Amino acid sequence: MRADGLAGRTALVTGGGSGIGRAVAVALAAAGARVIVAGRTAATLEQTVELADEATAVWGGESLVGGQSWAPVVPAGAQAHIVDVTDAGAVRALFAAIEHEHGRLDIAVNNAGRPSWGPVAQTPRAEWDAVIGVNLTGVWLCLQQEIDLMRRGGGGAVVNVVSRIGIPMREENQGVYAASKAALSILTRTAARECVGWGIRINAVSPGPTDTALAAWDDESQAERDARVARTVPIGRLAAPAEIAAAVRWLVSDEASYVVGHDLVVDGGLSA
């Protein structure tokens, strides 16, 4: 995809303060989008904003398509919004601000998520509510607003970040997390069927083990984590967050214009 392939488009990334969300925000900014990152921690969101702005600082050269030159891409600076996606009022306020400031929303990446560990039989109700609240209800609240804004704006592209733990695979001690992510995959594909006639493409990405703070088990060093993953993942390593971001960037681009209701598994062959 050419470097200015998303020029002029407004993109929202939830859970944009670190990890995959941060990598997605930077990748979309590098492709020319005006990026809005949302999350609960101001300091990490501001770090993402700085990285996104750096990614758009200098562009120029020849297009990979047809040999035509393209102009430098310098979209407006990235923005950060403090939002708890489980708070319906806060979510509505976020989208009201996006519409007021930008007039439209072209791309949305629902990445905010919460991990969970422990046997199903021993999971407290509070843990269940928290995980379902962020991983499923929070996405649903955002998705409703995204669909409304995109429908009124003539269309758009949505990617929900799911997981290889869910429909592709199950693992012991991750039953609650798997339930939330499997349900999100089904929600994604159902919404895709409902919205494609409005010019809204909705898809999902299901990452495998990725080099983020959530990839290590309790009391596990980075070296121990890397060795464990090398033994279990066919490709022999964790994904870089930028590799997951590349999949997201493709799905929201015009190159994926015929891709609707797909859950793209990016897991190094783990669920093959």
Specify the pLDDT at position 221.
87
Q: What does the pLDDT look like over 107-121, one tens digit per residue?
A: 999 999 999 989 999
At residue 1, the pLDDT reads 54
List the chain residues with pLDDT less than 70: 1-4, 58-76
At 109 the three-state DSSP class reads strand
Closest C-alpha among 201, 205, 183 to residue 193: 201
**What pLDDT score does 172 carry?**
87
pLDDT the model gives residue 28: 97
Q: What is the pLDDT of residue 76?
A: 64
Contacts (Cβ under 8 Å, ≥6 apart) of 245:
20, 23, 24, 26, 27
Q: What is the pLDDT of residue 257?
A: 98
The set of catalytic residues is 177
Domain boundaries, the chain: 10-263
Question: What confidence score (pLDDT) does residue 229 get?
Answer: 87
**pTM (2 d.p.):** 0.91
Fold observed for domain 10-263: Rossmann fold (3.40.50)
Residue 77, pLDDT score: 86
Q: What is the pLDDT of residue 222?
A: 85
Q: Give the C-alpha separation, 43 to 46, whole Å.
A: 5
